[in-house]
Amino acid sequence: MENAIEVKDLHIKYRGLKKMSIKQSLAKFKLNRIEVFEALKGVSFTVEKGKIMGIIGKNGSGKSTLLRAVAGIFAPDEGTVDLKGNTVSLMSIGAGFQTKLTGFENIILSGLLLGFTEEQIRKKVPAIIEFSELGDFIYKPVKTYSSGMYSKLSFSITAILETDIMLIDEVLSVGDIHFKEKSSKKMHEIIKDDSKTVMIVSHSMSTIKELCDEVLWLNDGVLMERGDTETVTNHYEDFMQKLGKK
């Protein structure tokens, strides 16, 4: 099978200023120092074209960082991400929208950033608005949206403006029951298209088990296991159960 995604020895580090007390600062003649946190530590994997890969792991394991690296939002400190010329989109709460712009304006902007022409986007706008169920709110600034409304717009844009690779970060877990059912149905339609490749980050094991062909398990930035959905999720659940007993 042809690979849609190839990730090799991926390292991503966050750099921030570590605060110190005034007394410590004066003693060392500096106000702060750089603190480095390595979010991903040499992660390597491939995803075959048309496959649905789930990404699991406890909080802080690097799942969202990995998706953003694949999406091209984060540049690797070391290693490579090769999308084999495929187009990619990311569905994530808090990613990609300009909050001062309206939902309508963000549809146009998001489409342009995904590589579509304005003509292509405008043809899809009615379908995006209808699917989002936002009504007149589509013409209001995104900063006025609830998290549920935000997720509806994010999902609708990416689901209707289909790219070769779709990256989904917990968006399916937000919104009312009706929209969850509708988005799940839409995801199943996308999954049936063998030309689409999907990576899903979720804490919901039922979602992962229902949708994914294979699973990648991250723990503290390290790839613990990658394989068939049932095997990897069972190992992860055993690990989390043992961790909870400590």
pLDDT tens per residue, range 128-187: 999 999 999 999 999 999 888 888 898 888 889 888 998 988 766 556 788 888 887 887
* CA 199/CA 168 separation, integer angstroms: 6
- 3-17, 176-190, 228-242: the lowest-pLDDT one: 176-190
Tell me whether residue 53 is in a domain: yes
Task: Report residue 47's pLDDT band, with 50, 70 and 90 as the boundaries.
Answer: very high
Number of domains the chain contains: 1
Residue 171 domain-assigned (yes or no): yes
Per-residue pLDDT at 28 exceeds 80? no
Alpha-carbon span 95 to 113, nearest angstrom: 13
17 within a domain of the structure (yes/no): no
d(CA 62, CA 55): 10
User: Half-sphere exposure of 32 toward its Cβ, with a 13 Å CA cutoff?
Assistant: 8
Q: Is the predicted pLDDT of residue 245 greater than 70, yes or no?
A: no
Assess if residue 24 is contained within a domain: no
Closest CA to 201 of 83, 104, 75, 70: 70
Q: Can you tell me the distance from the alpha carbon of 75 to that of 244, in angstroms, rounded to the nearest whole number?
A: 34
Tens-digit pLDDT profile for residues 177-232: 888 888 878 877 877 777 889 999 988 899 899 889 999 999 999 999 999 999 99
Any domain includes 37: no
Alpha-carbon distance 173 to 131, whole Å?
17
User: Comparing C-alpha atoms, which of 103, 104, 53 is closest to residue 217?
Assistant: 53
Considering the chain, what is the average pLDDT of its residues? 87
Range of the domain at 161: 3-10+47-245
pLDDT reading at 113 higher than 60: yes
Is residue 38 situated within a structural domain? no
Token pair recorded at residue 45: 């994997």
**Are residues 207 and 219 in contact, defined by beta-carbon separation less than 8 angstroms?**
no
Does some domain include residue 210?
yes
Structure token digits, residue 246: 């400590």
In a domain, 41, yes or no: no
Contact 118, 47 (CB under 8 A): no
CATH at residue 161? 3.40.50.300
Q: For 180-200, give one letter per residue: b (16+ CB within 10 A) or e.
A: eebbeebbeebbeeeebbbbb
Contact status, residue 170 vs residue 93, Cβ threshold 8 Å: yes
**Residue 14 structure tokens:** 């966050």
